[in-house]
Every structure is written in structure tokens, then in C-alpha cells.
Amino acid sequence: MSLVVVGSIAFDSVKTPFGERERMLGGAAVHFSLAASFFTDVRVVGPVGDDFGDEQYEVLHGRGVITDDVEHVDGGQTFFWKAHYEYDMNVAHTEDTQLGVFGEFEPKLSEDSRNAGNLFLANIQPDVQRGVREQCTGARFAGLDSMNLWIDTARDSLVKTIGGVDLVFLNDAEIRMLTEQPNLVRAAREIMDMGPSVVVAKQGEYGAALFTQDGFFALPAFPLDTVTDPTGAGDSFAGGFLGYLAAQDDWQDDAALRRAMTYGSVLASFNVEEFGTERVARLTSDEIDERFERFREITALEAAPA
Amino acid sequence: MSLVVVGSIAFDSVKTPFGERERMLGGAAVHFSLAASFFTDVRVVGPVGDDFGDEQYEVLHGRGVITDDVEHVDGGQTFFWKAHYEYDMNVAHTEDTQLGVFGEFEPKLSEDSRNAGNLFLANIQPDVQRGVREQCTGARFAGLDSMNLWIDTARDSLVKTIGGVDLVFLNDAEIRMLTEQPNLVRAAREIMDMGPSVVVAKQGEYGAALFTQDGFFALPAFPLDTVTDPTGAGDSFAGGFLGYLAAQDDWQDDAALRRAMTYGSVLASFNVEEFGTERVARLTSDEIDERFERFREITALEAAPA
């Protein structure tokens, strides 16, 4: 089944200890849709300005992403983000943010997108996310990402929006912050009490944990000896996860959710190997399958001999 | 084969959001030996003062730990540590440390301890650790723990000591600090270049990662909805790990090392459920086996259907 993602499309200028790039294609919806494109048909919804052109579309089309609902705002500028990372890659140091056309974004979904089988709400103001969720009446499942800013400034709206989705992707600090509960197991349960049946705690270099009503699964991050640029890792993770899940008959099956965690981790691990979308744009399904098997190897645990 | 541990024996006064205890039995060598005692014969080597008596020995003897090499220093006081934890249990806030007899500790191992099959050097000054390693000429393997203090103040000695052991247990911040290498995979490799064939990165609430010459394995921490007192978790982990390994014919076997990681995690998870040694002191082998199986369940990852 198809998957529609609503969120930011951006230009990112990023400097890390391993190099720098100016105005690379980026944004949550871009990283998500490229990752998800390996598993299902993906439609991306987000605003761009006059500075967004063929070169950027080619990256998306190169992976078969459907861009009919990319909204071109005449005279506008695409969302721009500039940041650097120190050796501790867990923290991005933002130097500049220019919202541009993203600041006034009011998603208007085409009929095809409204009828998409599954939905992902990338990190946007929670009122806007809820509006999109209400447009996509037919979606089998909806996933959501958010951030500390909205927990701080729009908590009630975020809780209401979470009440209308099935899967929540947050990092563990955000899960604790939203629930004011320091224990992650209890905090995840409190988020499930708001409505969702699945909570995914993103843990950066430590991997991710999956909480469901009666299940738990955790997966380490892939051990890389070079992380070139962590930008978009979380969105690539969500894209691999939900792209895989959108293609399954029973998306709530425990084994399918565990594989979704793994495909998410596979896509995130490739994403950070190079700058921006460079690595994922030329990734192959064979490479994905190979790394999935590597994940099975590095987590395999035999029973104790009797 | 038997296992000897050299390290601190202590009284701990600890306050956490879930309660407090005064002068509980504690110390690295105590937590280690109780955890290891489920798998093999354990001898504990460390100094105590006049305040250490039958009540404390009973906890150790209750688990069959051999205390012949506990050194009673007449007129001395046992190592005392006082700390509290906030809701973020990853950080202990030390309020008082009184080294007592531990400050002058010069381990003198009995012939039985010198001939022990395997050795663990709990966190002590690295010169002292090296002296013990040299006394235990027959040990099949030696493991070591250390801390940021020694990396700061006795780095050269620590590197030399690491050169004489087989397994290193450090938290990931310490691994990075020791090698001045921010990438954990590279940092672990640099420690292996110093001599050891196994590096275990302890990652607190995120579990632990195992690095060997050509292997990698990672295991999440057990998902607990209450962590009552994290004191001794790292030593319980090392005790479960090396206790299991000491009982194996081939301690370098990859599957055995992965099971050792899991038994370590099992023991650490029980240790933090209650204060001090309370939980592990009354733990049963059946409970350990059950939680080992739970670890297999929460990490199980099926292949993708063809």
C-alpha cells in the first residue's frame, strides 16, 4: 500500500569533522521518502520555493518518489538550515534557520494523497499535523514525529494529535519530557495511553526501542567506524520503518514490527555514511538486504546449552 | 574453573527517588562476587575494618563466596561511600568518600587465590591491579575495570595494565576518554591494540556492546519499569559475565561471549531492582534462566520472508 509523508523539504548547509556541504537537498520529508521508496510507493507533500529545481526533483524521481503534491510557492524560498556537528555527533549546533515557505505551510493534499494507504506526519506544528491526519481519512495507519519545541510550546495540541495516530517516533529525551516520566518503560506506556499502539524510542548511537501493548524489542545502531553526517538519520529510520510496514498485510504483527525496526536502522545507518542524501540516493536493495542480515548476526543470541 | 576478584569491599549509604539505605554492604568486589557466584567458585580479595562483621560475611557466605582472602585490618574502618541519585539514574552524586583501609590496600593473595583459574581486577589504582595480575601467574584470563580518575591521573600505568589483561570493561565515555577517539568502534579497536582480545562497552540504560577482533554484539538493557538503586550494576554485570565465562571450556568462543554478555545483563538488571545486594542475595538460578530467555525474546529477529 502507498505511503504519503507530509513535512519539510529543505536545503541544508552542514559541517562535520569529516567535511562540509553547502545547500544540500534535505528536510524530514525528503530523507523519509527516499528511505521509504525502497519498499513501497511514496508520495511527498511539502512546500518549496523558487530556488528548488530540476536537480532536486531528480534525486526524488531517481528513487521513484511521487512529487505531484510538492507545492511550489512563487517568489518564495525553500526552508534553509545551517548547522555544524562536533565529534559528539549526537548534537547538531544550529547556526541559521530560515523557514521561508515552510513558515506559512498549510498542507493541501490532492485526492491521491488523501486516499493514500498509510500516512507519516514528519515533525511540524502539531495543529498542522492534526489537520493532515483529518484529511487522510482512509489511511490504514498514521505515524508521527515531533520535537522538544512543540512539547514546550504546544503540548496540549501535540497530545491531541498523538491521540489520532497509531505510531509515535520520538527520541527518548522527548518521550520523558512529554510524559514528565523519567522511566522510559513507564513513559512509553503513558504515550500508548494517549492513543497510539506503537511507540518507537529513537536512541541515536544506541539504536532504538520498540514498545507495543504487550511487546518490547530493542536493536542497537549499526556499528560504523565513520559517521560522516547524522542529519536525517531519524527521518531515514522512520522512512525505512514505515516504508516496510506499509508494504505488509498485517502491519501490527510483532515480527513485522521488529523487521520494520531493522529496516529503519539499516536505512539510518546508510544515511549517516555520507552527507545529506548522497548515500541513500544510490543505495541498492541488495545492500539493504545484506545489512539486514548483518543486523541479525550482531544481535543473534543462542540459547544456553542444556 | 574458579574466579578470583580483587577490589573494594564497602559500606554504601544511598538515597534514590525510591528510598534510602544507611551503610549497606557494597563495593565492587562484593557486587561482582555475588553475581559470579551463580556460575562458578568465587574468591574475593579486599580489605575490611573493625566495622565489618558476621552480618556482612553471611551475605557472601550465603552465596558460597570464599572469603579466606578478605583482609581484616585491626583498628581500621571499611571503605565508606555516600551518594544520592536523581531521577536520571545514570549519574551518582557522591556526598562522602572515606577510603579507610582501602586507601592503604596492598593485595596479598593466598596460594589458592594466586592459583585461581581466572581473575577479575575491579576498579583500583592501575599499579595495584598490575601487581595482582603478576601474582596470578596461572590465570587463564584476566578482566579489568577502571574509571575516569585513573585515565586522568595514571594513564600510562593504566595502559600498561591493560596490556596484561584479556578483557576490558569500561563505560563508553571512558573508552573514548582513554583513546581520545570519539568513534566507539575505532576506540574499542585501539584498546584491543593495547593487548586485550575483548572490549566490553558498558552503556548503562542502553545495555552493552561487545567488541572482539572480528566480532561485534550488542544487547539492550532489560526494560525495567522501576530502577530502585543502580549502585553496583556495572560490577554485577562483570560478575555475571566473567562468572559464566569462567565456567566455560572455551572462553573465547563467540557464542559463549554473547551468552556472557547476556548473563551479565541479567545479573545487572536484578541488582538494580532493589537496594545494594538485597535482590541478588536472594536470587535463584531459575530466575536467572527465565530472564535469560526473556532477553532472547526481546532481541529475537526473524529473517525477512523470501
Q: At CB < 8 Å, which residues of chain B contact A?
A: 87-89, 182-186, 189, 203, 205-207, 209, 216-220, 223-227, 255, 258-259, 262, 289, 292-293, 295-296, 298-304
Q: Which of B255, B298, B304 sits opposite A302 (nearest CB)?
A: B255
Please report the pLDDT score of residue B304 as a whole number. Answer: 81
How many CA within 13 A on the CB side of residue A255?
6
* C-alpha distances in Å from residue B90, one per residue of B8, B205, B206: 21, 8, 10
List, in order, residues 6 or more apart from A171 with CB less than 8 Å away: A201, A202, A203, A204, A234
Give the integer Cα–Cα distance in Å for B89 and B84.
9
pLDDT tens track for B14-62: 999 999 999 999 999 999 999 999 999 999 999 999 999 999 999 999 9
CB A205 within 8 A of CB A249: no
Give the integer Cα–Cα distance in Å for B151 and B101.
23
Average pLDDT over residues B208-232: 96
pTM: 0.95
Among chain B residues, the shortest Cα distance to A206 is held by B206
Q: Which of A87, A299, A302 sits opposite B301 (nearest CB)?
A: A299
Q: How confident is the model at residue A149 (pLDDT cuts 50, 70, 90)?
A: very high
pLDDT over threshold 80, residue B306: no
Average pLDDT over residues A164-182: 96
- Amino acid at the residue B55: E
Angle between helices B155-162 and B172-179 (to 10 degrees): 110
Average pLDDT over residues A259-266: 98
Per the CB < 8 Å rule, is B219 touching A296?
Answer: no
How many CA within 13 A on the CB side of residue A224?
23
Give the integer Cα–Cα distance in Å for B208 and B221.
7
Average pLDDT over residues A129-153: 95
Q: Which of B203, B223, B258 sits opposite A206 (nearest CB)?
A: B203
Q: How confident is the model at residue A137 (pLDDT cuts 50, 70, 90)?
A: confident
pLDDT over threshold 80, residue B284: yes
Beta bridge partners of A15: A20, A84
Give the integer Cα–Cα distance in Å for A81 and A10.
7
* Coil, helix or strand at residue B254: helix
CB B24 within 8 A of CB B16: no
Question: Chain B closest CA to A119's CA: distance in Å?
Answer: 23
* C-alpha distances in Å from residue B44, one per residue of A222, B31, B47, B281: 38, 10, 10, 16
Give the integer Cα–Cα distance in Å for A22 and B206.
35
